[in-house]
């Protein structure tokens, strides 16, 4: 959670989003979510299909399994915020294109949930993984989880001789 809050502090008032006042705590959170979406989709798209079963060591997830996990977590966290349980529609997908589509759809679902969120609603308590938290805390959990796995995927991409889009041209 500390990492997610640190990320939120880097967004600044210039990142004000339509739908929330510039002074809303949700404004930098939404900007960070959109930035996270772009980072994750970019890194997933840079990995070629023939590397989706790569894993750096035997005891960790494959690249493909990380993408499937990200889709599931997006639906889990945002489903809880919305009061829905959608499961993981990507768990049986195999192809790179199918997974990228499912990942985009999971972010689109998150955007739909954001669209229905108000400051008052964001402060309401919900249950996530057996804990009572405010709705917006679940969103911070989604951001934190996405950034954690983005970091994993950067390693996978680099170990395959590729450059993450965020680092390209530097």
- Cβ 123 vs Cβ 134: under 8 Å: yes
Domains of the chain plus CATH, in order, are: 31-159 (1.20.120.450)
For 34-62, give the DSSP string: HHHHHHHHHHHHHS-GGGTT--SSTTS--
Nearest to 40 by CA among 120, 113, 110, 130: 110
Which residue in this structure is represented by tokens 């079963």?
53
- The answer for 48, left when phi > 0, alpha when psi is -120 to 50, beta otherwise, is beta
Predicted confidence (pLDDT) at residue 8 exceeds the cutoff of 60: no
- Say if strands 125-128 and 131-134 run parallel, antiparallel, or are unpaired: antiparallel
| Token output for 30 | 């939404």
pLDDT in tens, 23-71: 788 888 899 999 999 999 999 999 999 999 999 999 999 999 999 999 9
pLDDT in tens, 107-152: 999 999 998 999 999 999 999 889 999 999 999 999 999 999 999 9
CA distances from 151 to 14, 129, 157 (A): 26, 23, 10
């Amino acid at each position: 959670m500390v990492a997610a809050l640190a990320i939120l502090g880097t967004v600044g008032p210039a990142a004000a989003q339509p739908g929330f006042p510039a002074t809303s705590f949700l404004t930098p959170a939404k900007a960070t979510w959109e930035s996270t979406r772009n980072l994750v989709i970019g890194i997933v798209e840079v990995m070629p299909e023939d590397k989706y079963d790569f894993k750096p060591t035997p005891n960790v997830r494959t690249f493909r399994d990380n993408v499937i996990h990200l889709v599931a977590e997006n639906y889990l966290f945002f489903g809880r915020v919305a009061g829905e349980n959608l499961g993981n529609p990507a768990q049986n997908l195999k192809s790179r294109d199918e997974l990228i589509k499912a990942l985009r759809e999971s972010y689109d679902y998150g955007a739909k949930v954001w669209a229905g969120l108000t400051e008052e609603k964001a402060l309401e308590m919900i249950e996530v993984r057996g804990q009572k938290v405010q709705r917006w805390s679940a969103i911070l959990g989604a951001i934190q989880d996405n950034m954690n796995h983005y970091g994993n995927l950067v390693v996978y991409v680099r170990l395959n001789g590729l450059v993450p889009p965020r680092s390209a041209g530097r």
